[in-house]
Amino acid sequence: SNTSRLKAPPAVDEVPGYGRARLWLGITGVGSIVTLSAAALFFNLPEQFLPGTGAALSNQIKGILAFILMYSLLQLPLDFFGGYLLPRQYQRQHPHFNNFLVTLFRGVGVHSVLLALIGITLLLAARTAGVLGVVGVGAILVITLLRGSITLAAAIARLELTPSTPELHDDPALPVVPAYMGESEDEGFAGSIVGLFQPRTVLLPMRWREVLDSDAFRVAVQRRQMAISTGSWQRGRLLALTFTIAGIILSATLVGSSQLASAQGIVNFSLIFTLWSFLGLLTLPTPSRRGVAEVDHALLAHGCDRNILERTITHLDNLQDRERDRPPLIETVFHPVPSVQARLHGPHATGIKGTWNAARTTVAISPAGLGLLGRAVHCNCGRPALWVFLPID
């Protein structure tokens, strides 16, 4: 059964190729959406098919809803591959087909409603105050997505929270942040540190208690606390917010106040922001990997046993891609979490401060700019439980 297989983590590459297959799916999905976005901008397709500034508000809203529906239909085949076909082919944990459809359509429905509400809100902001209105509302939306992340995640997919046991707070040298155990249907769910700039909650996967021994679980908890105490989590938050809000400012400015107040303008804004998000997918993994190395190094300096840390890293990788090693170029461009081998042969303290989880936080808050890549990346494509809290170390 799935449960018994989880309790006895399989050997390296029990069924080889899953991680690389997911990567190719992500490249296909992201590449398709980016290419279509660039083509739509180049050929001025929003101007040809959507209402302009002179149209009634109701028609503007219908235009935005049609755009989001078209995006959702384009994304569905990718979701089907990522959430069902690939895990099934590589004998990874996956739901029965009917359960998969129910889970997927729930997630797609909530995600589509979220994008629709954001699109309409940005339209109203543009009609009221032009570029400044969109930038101001966009910044508020970023903050709202971060502060409401648990609520949104639980709406998109089943997520049950249980207050943690006192043992998670037994190290007086580490910050005490309320911890909750989260039960998710997806084995790749890795929790998060929730909060804007001050950590409010450490969210840990219930499944980790099943696959880790007590020492390894304690190390996994300490890593989250260490991400906070080193400042790497806060720096990651700052980079993600700065990058996202800069993209909103750039996209709104390029479209201009006059056109923003229409379905044409909001869709152009979305397409430009999607291209900006693509730039983030290429550049933000490197500082994020430095954040992982920084936390690993700090944990060892704090007295953590290297053997226990290695065991923890290896067991938790079994819940992700089980891709123990990667070619340097692939890791540099596509992976904000280093491979197991890269971490075990380090951690590599470069002297440069890291930004823990910056890359995937940026993906999670990209709906604030109507970004279209949040469900297309390789780690969460077709997996609604990972659309808000993407897999992390």
Question: Using CA of residue 36, residue 336, residue 100, residue 371, what is the dihedral sign?
Answer: negative
SS3 assignment, position 183: strand
Look up the domain containing 85 and give its range.
2-386
Q: Residue 303: is its pLDDT beyond 60?
A: yes
- Check whether 168 has a pLDDT greater than 80: no
Tokens linked to 37 = 């976005």
H/E stretch holding 193 reads strand 192-195
* Of 93 and 363, more confident: 363
Give the C-alpha separation, 301 to 144, whole Å. Answer: 36
> Is 269 inside any structural domain?
yes
The answer to whether residue 178 scores a pLDDT higher than 90 is: no
Q: Which residue has the higher pLDDT, 170 or 236?
A: 236
Which residues make Cβ contacts (< 8 Å) with residue 39, sequence separation at least 6? Answer: 45
- Does 136 map to a domain? yes
Please state, as a whole number, how many other Cβ atoms lie within 10 Å of the Cβ of residue 329.
8
332 belongs to a structural domain: yes
Residue 382 lies in a domain: yes
CA dist., res. 367 & res. 60, Å (int): 19
What average pLDDT score do residues 282-295 get?
96
pLDDT computed for residue 350 by the predictor: 64
CA pair distance 369, 380, nearest whole angstrom: 19
Name the token pair of 124.
């109203």
When comparing pLDDT for 96 and 351, which is higher? 96
Query: Is 391 inside any structural domain?
Result: no
**What would the mean pLDDT of 112-141 be, rounded to a whole number?**
99
Please write the tens of the pLDDT for every residue from 310-342.
999 999 999 999 989 999 899 999 999 999 999
What is the band of 173 on the pLDDT scale with cuts at 50, 70, 90? low
Structure tokens given for 211:
């696959």
Whole-number average pLDDT of the chain? 92
For the ranges 71-75, 125-129, 352-356, which has the lowest average pLDDT? 352-356
Q: Would you state the structure tokens that stand for residue 76, as one six-digit string?
A: 């569905």
Give dist(CA 347, CA 290) in Å, integer: 9
194-198, 277-281, 369-373: which has the minimum mean pLDDT? 194-198
Greatest Cα pair distance in the chain = 67
Mean pLDDT of 156-164: 94
Beta-carbon contacts of 208 under 8 Å, excluding residues fewer than 6 positions away, are: 217, 220, 316
Q: What percentage of the chain carries pLDDT values higher than 70?
A: 92
Is there a domain that residue 392 lies in?
no
**Among 276-290, 326-340, 346-360, whose mean pLDDT is lowest?**
346-360
Is residue 325, in this structure, part of any structural domain at all?
yes
> Considering the domain boundaries, does residue 364 fall inside one?
yes
Task: Classify residue 43 by its DSSP letter.
Answer: T
Give the pTM.
0.94
The burial of 337, by beta-carbon neighbours within 10 Å (0-12 exposed, 13-18 middle, 19 or more buried), is given as buried
Between 165 and 86, the higher pLDDT residue? 86
pLDDT tier at 349, thresholds 50, 70, 90 = low
Strand pairing category for 179-184 and 199-205: parallel
78: pLDDT strictly greater than 80: yes
Average confidence (pLDDT) over 83-99: 95
Q: How far apart are CA 288 and CA 294, in angstroms?
A: 10
The token pair that represents 44 in the structure block:
């001025």
Number of domains in the chain: 1
Buried b (16+ CB within 10 A) or exposed e, 345-372: eebeeeeeebbbbbbbbbbbbbbbbbbb
3-state helix, strand, coil in the chain (%, to 5): 65, 5, 30
